[in-house]
Amino acid sequence: MPMRTRVFAAVLRRVSTPVEEAEDFAKLRADRSKLQTSAIGRRVFGSLDKGAEVEEISWGADRRALVYRPKDSIAPLPCVVNFHGGGWVQGNPEQSGWLASRVAVRNNVVVISPAYRLAPEDRFPAGIEDARDAVEWVVKNAEDLGINPERIAVMGDSAGGNLAAVVALLARDAGGPEIRAQVLIYPGVEMYDKWPSELRNAEAPVLTSRNMNAFARLYLGEQYGTEDFRASPIRAESHADLPKAFILTAELDPLLDNGAHYRDALVAAGVPVRYAEYKGAIHGFMSLPGVSPPAKQALDDVVGFLAQAL
């Protein structure tokens, strides 16, 4: 693990409240947002690409989204709908700004990062319903957004990777909207089974095994134990005919095997998959470019994949 990542992990353990110990989730989210906008937070989470324009819009039932597009771009452009992580409990579209703005500029696309309802106030399937509705809203409003509705990809990290994977399954089953590609960044695809990477990295920085269990229980609530694929996309009856995928995982992440097993499921179903495991990387590293050197290589890889897929 790089030294700057070690220092960050040590500080994080001292100053953060584990989700399993939290009681006031509004405060937990507010503290996270405050950190993001602080001087230290900007260095950790990274800054926006200077070549990107950012606009906040409203969509659906008073939801909000951040829209990133290259400056002086000419519409219509391909579109990537990006879902933030945070265990379905915390997080916000702003935390993906470093990645989203760079994908927008380097791929000459529009990246739309929608907010979605969070648990425990709004439990499963509220988050996935919002994610599905966001993609459908983007396609229906393509002209106003300056995008090409036939060139859509979904992307997400951690819980957002779960949402992106489920949206791709739902769109396939519903016969649309057409999704050309899915970028799944250390996705959580299984709610219950403990695979070796979770045992090996049970006390890893950013995400521990106890965190994972708490997030799942907060998200699912009384439905904890459901085998609904909308909670655990790896449990879908079929993974055939899904969009081509790029799955990114981190060596020191409890969720590593989630990504690897989902790769295997997609490959077995005949879906084209690119897979990469980033050495020395921790969970959340794509939102932490200031303290996780592998983020830059992973960004290059995402840009390269989308250039071919879209």
DSSP character string of 62-130: TEEEEEEEETT--S-EEEEEEE--STTTS--GGGGHHHHHHHHHHHT-EEEEE----TTTS-TTHHHHH
Query: In b/e form, how buried is each residue of 181-203, taking b as 16+ CB within 10 angstroms?
Result: bbbbbbbbbbbeeeeebbeebee
Strands (E), the chain: 52-59, 63-70, 77-83, 110-114, 147-157, 181-185, 244-250, 273-278
Question: Annotated catalytic sites, by residue?
Answer: 158, 253, 283
Total number of residues shown for the chain: 310
Q: What CA–CA distance (Å, rounded) separates 42 from 65?
A: 20
| 170 token code pair | 């739902």
Helix axes 294-309, 97-107, angle to 10 degrees: 40
**123 and 219 Cβ atoms separated by less than 8 Å:** yes
Q: Tokens 């200077």 label which residue?
A: 50
DSSP bridge pairs for 111: 68, 80
Reduce the DSSP state of residue 277 to 3 states and report it.
Answer: strand
Q: What CA–CA distance (Å, rounded) separates 94 from 131?
A: 16
Q: Phi/psi of residue 238, each to 5°?
A: -145, 145
